[in-house]
Structure 1
Amino acid sequence: MKRRRKGRKPRGRGRFWLRRIALGVIALLALPLLLSLVYLPPVIHPVSTLMVKDVITLKGYTREWTPLDRFGPRLVNSVLMSEDGQFCAHHGIDLNEFRALFQDFLAGEATRGGSTITMQTAKNLYLWHGRSYVRKALELPYAIYLDLVMPKRRIMEIYLNIAEWGPGIYGAEAAARHHFGKSTRELSSRQAALLAVTLPNPLARTPGKPSNALNRLAATIERRAGHAGGYNGCLK
C-alpha cells in the first residue's frame, strides 16, 4: 500500500484557491463588458461607483435623471468643449492627447488629466477614483469597448447623469437646480460654462459662487461653446 507524500494535500488546496481567486478576478474584470450592454437601453439609468459608495456609507445622493434631448444645448456644448472637444471624432481615446501624456510620463513630468468623456464615463461606472496607473490602465480598454458597443449620444447622456458636481450631487440637472435654482434648459451660457469647468474638481469649485479664476475659465469655455457646431455632430 502506497503512502501519501506529506505536503501534497496542502499544495492541492493552494492550487484550488489560486484558481478560484483567478476566476474571480477574471469575472470581476469582465463584468463591465456585460454591464455596458445592459446599459444600452434608454430606460436603464446607471449609477456610478461614487453613488454606490454614498449609499453604502448612508450619505445618500441627489440626482435627477434627464434624457439627453432635455438637457439645454448650452450645457451639453459647454461640457463637450471643456472636457473633450474631440469626443465625436475619436474612438474612446484621444490618441494625440494620449501620446503627449505618455511622453510626459517617460520624461518624469507631471501628467495632465487627458481623459476623454468616454474614459471618464467608464471610470465613473466601473472603477475607483483617485490617481492610479492601474486604474488608468483599466480605463483605456473599457473606454475603447464602451465606444465600440454604445452610441456617442448614449455615452454623453450617461456621463451627464452620473458626473459628480459637488458632495452628494450627481448629474447636470441636479447640479443646475442646486447651484442656480433652475433646470439645465434655463441656464445662461455663462452658467452652463461655469458648471462645465467645475467638473475637473467638483469638491473644490463652486459654480454658484465662482472665484475670479473660475470665471475666467468659464469665459473661455463660453466662447468655445458658442462655436461648437463643428464638433457636436454625433450628438444631434
Structure 2
Amino acid sequence: MKVIHWIWRLIKKFLLWFFLISVGSVILYRFLPVPFTPLMGIRFFEQLRDESKEVRLKKDWVSMEEISKSAPLAVVAAEDQKFLDHHGFDFEAMEKAWEGNKKGKRIKGASTITQQTVKNVFLWPERSYLRKGLEAYFTVLVELIWSKERILEVYLNVIEMGDGIYGIEAAAQEFYKKPASKLNQREAAMIAAVLPNPKRWNPTRPTPYIIGRQAWILKQMNNLGKIEFEKE
C-alpha cells in the first residue's frame, strides 16, 4: 500500500507541475515571440544527419502589423475558413475526416489553425493518441488565453514553409526577395498552397497541382473578403 501511495503522490506532483508549466508557457507566449519549436529542432538534426542537405534554419519574427493582409487571409482561406468562428475545434470537419478514412488504416486529421499552432509550438509531429490528447489540452488553453489575432500571428511566424524555412517573413525573403509586408495576393496564395507539404513543393517552382490550388485559394480569399478581429 505504501508503494501505491508513493506512486500516486508522484503522479499528482507530476500533473501539478505539468499544469503549472503548460499554463505558464501559454501565458508567456501570449506576449513574447516564440524563439524555437520542437519541429525546428527535429528538422535541424535531420539536416545534420543527411550529407546531401544544406544545414539551415531561417526564421525572423514579425508582428501582425508587419505582415501583408493578404498572408493571414490566404492561410485562413487555405487551411481553416471557420477559424474566426470556432473555439479551436472544427467538429464538422473532424466528423467528415473520420467518416472518409474509415476504409483506410491511416486517419487523416482535420486540424484547425489553432491545433496546427499548438502542435508546432508545444508538441511534436508524431501521430499518436498521446500527442492528440495533449494537442486538445493545449488547444483549449490557447483559445482561452490568446486572441484569434495572436493565434494567427504565432502561426504565421512558426509554421514550416520550406526546407529550413519557418514563418512568413523568412518565406517572403527566400521565395520573393521582399518582406512579408509587401506580399501581394498571388504570392501569399502560392505560399499558402504549399503548406500541406512545404518540403516537397516550392512556391517558385509550382507544379500544375499547386497552380490549381493557388487559383482555388485566390477564389476563396475573394469570397472571404477580409479578416476582422475582435478588439480586445
Shorter-chain TM-score category? 0.7 to 0.9
TM-score by length of structure 1 reads 0.82
Tell me whether 1:172 sits opposite 2:168 in the alignment: yes
Q: Equivalent residue for 1:40?
A: 30
Contact 2:70–2:184 at 8 Å: present in 1 too? Answer: yes
Which SS does the other structure have where 1:227 is aligned? Answer: helix
Contact 2:57–2:165 at 8 Å: present in 1 too? Answer: yes
2:88 to 85, 92, 97: 92
Give the Å deviation of 1:186: 2.2
Contact 2:44–2:164 at 8 Å: present in 1 too? Answer: no
Q: What pairs with 1:56-67 in structure 2 (closer than 5 Å)?
A: 59=55, 61-67=57-63
1:114 to 90, 95, 110: 110
Give the Å deviation of 1:25: 6.1
CA distance in 2, matches of 1:210, 1:16: 59
CA distance in 1, matches of 2:163, 2:18: 28
Paired residue type of 1:133: Y
Q: CA separation of 1:198/1:22 partners in 2, compared to 1, >3 Å: closer, same or farther?
A: farther
CA distance in 1, matches of 2:121, 2:22: 8
CA RMSD in angstroms comes to: 2.7
Aligned length: 223
CA distance in 2, matches of 1:23, 1:129: 27
2:75 to 69, 73, 79: 79
Q: Which moved more, 1:75-84 or 1:127-136?
A: 127-136
Give the Å deviation of 1:134: 2.6
CA distance in 2, matches of 1:92, 1:79: 16
Q: Which moved more, 1:147-156 or 1:47-56?
A: 47-56
Q: CA separation of 1:147/1:164 partners in 2, compared to 1, >3 Å: closer, same or farther?
A: same
Q: CA separation of 1:52/1:94 partners in 2, compared to 1, >3 Å: closer, same or farther?
A: same
CA distance in 2, matches of 1:214, 1:160: 20
Give the Å deviation of 1:184: 2.0
Contact 1:46–1:158 at 8 Å: present in 2 too? Answer: no
Give the Å deviation of 1:69: 1.6
Give the Å deviation of 1:141: 2.3
Which SS does the other structure have where 1:159 is aligned? Answer: helix
Structure 1 gaps of 5+ residues are: 1-7
CA distance in 2, matches of 1:40, 1:30: 15
CA distance in 1, matches of 2:179, 2:131: 34
Give the Å deviation of 1:53: 3.9
Which SS does the other structure have where 2:201 is aligned? Answer: coil
Q: Equivalent residue for 2:21?
A: 31
Which SS does the other structure have where 2:133 is aligned? Answer: helix
Structure 2 gaps of 5+ residues are: 49-54
CA distance in 2, matches of 1:177, 1:64: 10
Tell me whether 1:212 sits opposite 2:208 in the alignment: yes
Which SS does the other structure have where 2:58 is aligned? Answer: coil
Tell me whether 1:234 sits opposite 2:229 in the alignment: yes
CA distance in 2, matches of 1:209, 1:60: 20
Percent identity for Structure 1 against Structure 2: 30
Which SS does the other structure have where 2:206 is aligned? Answer: coil
Q: CA separation of 1:214/1:166 partners in 2, compared to 1, >3 Å: closer, same or farther?
A: same
Which SS does the other structure have where 1:233 is aligned? Answer: coil
Paired residue type of 1:31: I
